[in-house]
Chain A
Amino acid sequence: MEDIKKIATRLKIAKEKIQNKDVINSGSNAASLGKALKISTELVAAVVVGATIGYILDSWFDTKPLLIIIFFFMGVAAGILNVFRSAKKMHEKK
């Protein structure tokens, strides 16, 4: 009976070790490089999209510099939101 208990605890320890290994692997250099590249473009893309929308709306309504300024800052906000969200997602996974 005691033998079985011993084996059970040893199995538990071994399983925990395997799980810990997974955590270490997910934070490896390659994965973090991927995350860094992912986040940096997200910020830029939203700013570009926001400014483009502002530019298009400006030429529609003939309000030349006004909307592009507003939408540029909206784009910045959206970009930060994107970065915040993907960072949160990464945090949840770990």
Chain B
Amino acid sequence: MNTNPMHQFEVYQIGPEINLGGVNLSFTNASLFMVISATLILLLLFLGTKKKSLVPSKIQFITEMSYTFVAKMMNDTAGASAKSFFPFIFTLFMFVLFANMVGMLPYSFTVTSHIIVTFVLAAAVFVGVTILGFAKHGFKYLELFVPKGVPVILLPLIIIIEIISYLSRPVSLSVRLFANMMAGHTMLKVFGGFVISLGLLGGWLPLGFSVALTGLEILVAFLQAYVFAILTCIYLNDALNLHH
């Protein structure tokens, strides 16, 4: 058994190597667990909406709860004008949530503990929101970088700071999710390793910690998906309504 706590983040190839124009597109364990998360979401939504009974079954209840949860979150943060983006936010939230939760299972792989995965998600949000802002407001969207009531002398400085602040959005969005997932899983593995190495005599304390940390990690897994979705809503609101 490998006791290296970072071993769980290794990406390896499953099946044949696929090379498309010099780009390695092989199916890896990361892709496998993305497919598993997506399949689980589809399965949940399919089973949950199949029999629309007035008194919901458990699975229908979970489906409806996730819908109302995201709908309420969007309503609170982005307002009614963002209603048409519900499918996007819902997909994003469910994917991140399921990727995090599937990662909590033993022997699984946490897709969101890789910065490239979270950064692609965040960059998609960032580029999409920017295009949306320009499409909706034209060049007036640049007013986002010019806060009201600033003296003209300070303006060049403020604009640069605002641009850096705007560009930092995808970075903070992706790093937050990635760092939380990776740190949590590393910590779990380290404490798990302590249980083995301290043996029957001293292993009980880290075992207790492991149990507590697992609970905390499940909370963090949910929380990070929530934060990711809610920040996307806030950025969407900025682009749609043009104010800070």
Contact = CB atoms under 8 A, between A and B. Distances in A.
A interface, by DSSP: helix, strand, loop or mixed? helix
Nearest to B164: A78
Q: With a 10 A CB-CB cut-off, give which of A71, A81, A85, A89 has the most chain B CB atoms.
A: A81
Interface residues on B, range: 20 to 34
A50 B180 contact: no
B167 A49 contact: yes
Nearest to B223: A34
A71 B157 CA distance: 11
Given A38-B176, A44-B172, A75 B164 contact: yes
Nearest to A88: B244
A37 B165 CA distance: 18
A69 interface: no
A33 interface: yes
B219 interface: yes
Interface string A71-94: 100110111011001000100000
A21 B157 CA distance: 44
Interface string B153-195: 0000100111011011101100110011000000000000000
Contact of B227 (A37, A46, A48, A77): A37
Interface in A11-46: 30, 33-34, 37-38, 41-42, 44-46
A30 B157 CA distance: 37
Interface in B214-239: 219, 223-224, 226-227, 231, 234
Contacts of A46: 164-165, 168, 172
Interface of A: 30, 33-34, 37-38, 41-42, 44-46, 48-50, 53, 71, 74-75, 77-79, 81-82, 85, 89
Interface of B: 157, 160-162, 164-165, 167-169, 171-172, 175-176, 179-180, 219, 223-224, 226-227, 231, 234, 244
Give the top 7 A-B pairs by smallest Cβ distance, nearest first.
Answer: A45-B172, A78-B164, A46-B168, A78-B165, A45-B171, A41-B176, A49-B168
